[in-house]
Amino acid sequence: MDLTGASSTRSDVSSEADPTSFLGQRPLAAATSRATRYVASMKGNLIGFKLRPSLRTKLLMAFLLFEVLLVSVGVIGLLALREADQRAHQVVALQHKIEAYRQMQHDTLRQLYGVSTALEFPDETTLAIALRQINQFGYDLDRVSFVAKDEVALLNQVREEYARFIAVVSHIVDLVRNGRTAEAKQSERSELGPLADKLERLTNQLVNRAEADMVAGIDVSKQTYSKSQLLVAAVALASLVLTLVLGHAISRSVINPVGVIHHGLNRLAAGDFSQRIEVPNHDELGQLAAHVNSTAEELQQLYRSLEEASRHKSQFLANMSHELRTPLNAILGFSELMLDGIYGKPSEKMRSALERIQRNGRHLLGLINDVLDLSKIEAGQLQLSLADYSVEELVNGLYISVESLAAEKNLGLKIVVPPGLPPARGDERRLAQALFNLVGNAIKFTDAGEVRIEVEAKENSLKFSVQDTGPGIDEADQAKIFQEFQQVDNSITKAKGGAGLGLAIVKRIVEMHGGRIWIESRLGHGATFSFLVPARLEQQAMQT
């Protein structure tokens, strides 16, 4: 079963976009564990639908709660209004009642007055007035009984007393009509007077009670008002607190995880694949964090496998170049012995052929050594051997090994080293190799003019420069040339050949010294390669 097939089957199951499947080489185990995780998260979703509210549900619930608060404040207000309305009605009713009672007292007084007048001036007119007063009182009493349904006992008493009062009045009127005025006056004094007093007392009682009721009603109304005020204030305060708490809780459950995820993504972007985000949320943000984590895990696995592949490649190159060099050593060794005449003096033709074997063999050896150097550096197997060295000797040694190359092309070779430099510290052999590569390139690509090697002592560091009068390097190509197997792609480099490893090695050596390398060049105006290394390196720089 091919892996590409496997990954497409998997994407059918998960239907998620799989950013790594394009590589087509992810281990099957990882795919399986991913599928298991997916199923697990599906289960979590099914269970979590009730127990673990999504962000949407949380927000909806919060808004719903606010709505409920608003409605309840409204309801409380309406209830308070209704109660106030009822109280007002009660007070008005009580006022009516008091009015009616007062009317009744007034009626009684007028009745008494009517009767007294009839007794003083007994004629039909005054008698009719006295009788009409009876009707008026009855009418008022009905009004009272209609208004006041409580205080029934008192009212009934009033009614009874009044019935007696009417009877007495009727009796007196009858006596007056029959001319028995003395009897009538007697009856007025002994019966009507006390009855009127009693009626007045009773109605006064009623008025007092009604007034007390009214005062009590107003009191209750006042209390209700202040209670409603308190209630509304309390609800408002509670809703304010609730809003703050809810707002805080929601922003905590949203902003914090977003911040954490943001931070995590930043670290991922910076290449830290080992970190995992912790977001306790069970909502969309929790899912997002889990997704970031699984992505980080996959990146980490990918990174590890890439690192391993790179290590294997470097190891393979190291082994391979060693294997290549062994037979090459024999070729070089035997051809040298033949050139030295150990097997008999070679003919001139044979000598020329042997020299070609030697030259090509050494070139091949150089290339193999470059590959080995680079792979060892990349595999982290190259350690600098740090020791004191003389800059002057280093440059002079270099001069000796390259002067014949420059002379062959009729190029000037100039060296500028400030006198009296103190001993430097570093890997002399590696620095010489770096400088040799730069000078070798300069001579190789320069057809006329000179190559200049210059050393400058800076504060705590040394600057080595190699300047040539060659074709120069286009700005666009300058960034590429320090990468392995990269050469400026033009007719000049094609004519000169080379594997494009030299500058990559120089760069690595300089960086291992904790230094940096750069180029200044313009097309057609030559090139200057410079590198800066610490004058005294006590510890190898970390490899990046």
Partner 1 sequence: MSKRVLVVEDQEDNRQILRDLLANVGYEMIEAQNGEEALIAAKTQRPDLILMDIQLPILDGYEATRRIKAQADLRHIPIIVVTSYALSGDEEKARAAGCDAYVAKPYSARKLLETINQYLT
Which residues bind to partner 1, rule: CB under 8 A? 322, 325-330, 332-334, 336-337, 340, 342-343, 365, 369, 372-373, 376, 381-383, 385
Q: Minimum CB separation from partner 1 for residue 299, in Å? A: 32
Beta carbon nearer to partner 1, 239 or 375: 375
Q: Minimum CB separation from partner 1 for residue 348, in Å? A: 20
Of 212, 210, 220, whose CA–CA distance to 84 is shortest? 220
Q: Minimum CB separation from partner 1 for residue 457, in Å? A: 28
Beta carbon nearer to partner 1, 327 or 419: 327
Beta carbon nearer to partner 1, 26 or 376: 376
Q: Minimum CB separation from partner 1 for residue 372, in Å? A: 7
Side chain identity, residue 230: L
Beta carbon nearer to partner 1, 372 or 510: 372
Q: Minimum CB separation from partner 1 for residue 475, in Å? A: 34
Which residue is associated with the tokens 């470059």? 370
Q: Minimum CB separation from partner 1 for residue 387, in Å? A: 10
In degrees, to the nearest 5, what angle opens at C-alpha 165 toward C-alphas 163 and 171?
105
At 79, list the tokens: 């209830």
DSSP state for residue 108 in the 8-state scheme: H
Q: Minimum CB separation from partner 1 for residue 429, in Å? A: 9
Residues 196/187, Cβ–Cβ less than 8 Å:
no
DSSP state for residue 540 in the 8-state scheme: P
Beta carbon nearer to partner 1, 417 or 432: 432
Q: Helix or strand or coil: residue 461?
A: strand
Beta carbon nearer to partner 1, 198 or 351: 351
Beta carbon nearer to partner 1, 357 or 421: 357
DSSP state for residue 191 in the 8-state scheme: I
Q: Minimum CB separation from partner 1 for residue 513, in Å? A: 15
Question: Cβ neighbours of residue 412 under 8 Å, at least 6 residues apart?
Answer: 406, 449, 450, 451
At 156, list the tokens: 């009934």
Residues 318/381, Cβ–Cβ less than 8 Å:
yes
Beta carbon nearer to partner 1, 281 or 433: 433
Beta carbon nearer to partner 1, 108 or 321: 321
At 45, list the tokens: 């979703």
Residues 466/335, Cβ–Cβ less than 8 Å:
no
Of 75, 65, 173, whose CA–CA distance to 123 is shortest? 173
Element (H, E) at 10: helix 3-14
Integer Cα distance of 540 and 385 in angstroms: 9
Q: Minimum CB separation from partner 1 for residue 284, in Å? A: 54
Beta carbon nearer to partner 1, 295 or 335: 335
Beta carbon nearer to partner 1, 135 or 385: 385
Q: Which residues pair with 80 in a beta bridge?
A: none
Q: Minimum CB separation from partner 1 for residue 381, in Å? A: 6
Of 358, 352, 323, 322, whose CA–CA distance to 337 is shortest? 358
Q: Minimum CB separation from partner 1 for residue 369, in Å? A: 6
Q: CB-based burial of residue 112 (10 Å sphere; 0-12 exposed, 13-18 middle, 19+ buried)?
A: buried
Side chain identity, residue 387: A
At 526, list the tokens: 């030559």
Residues 526/467, Cβ–Cβ less than 8 Å:
yes
Say how far residue 270 (Cα) sits from the centre of its chain: 18
Beta carbon nearer to partner 1, 19 or 380: 380
Beta carbon nearer to partner 1, 19 or 333: 333
Element (H, E) at 452: strand 450-458
Q: Minimum CB separation from partner 1 for residue 319, in Å? A: 12
Residues 113/171, Cβ–Cβ less than 8 Å:
no
Say how far residue 298 (Cα) sits from the centre of its chain: 23
Q: Minimum CB separation from partner 1 for residue 383, in Å? A: 4
At 482, list the tokens: 């320090």
Integer Cα distance of 342 and 272 in angstroms: 62
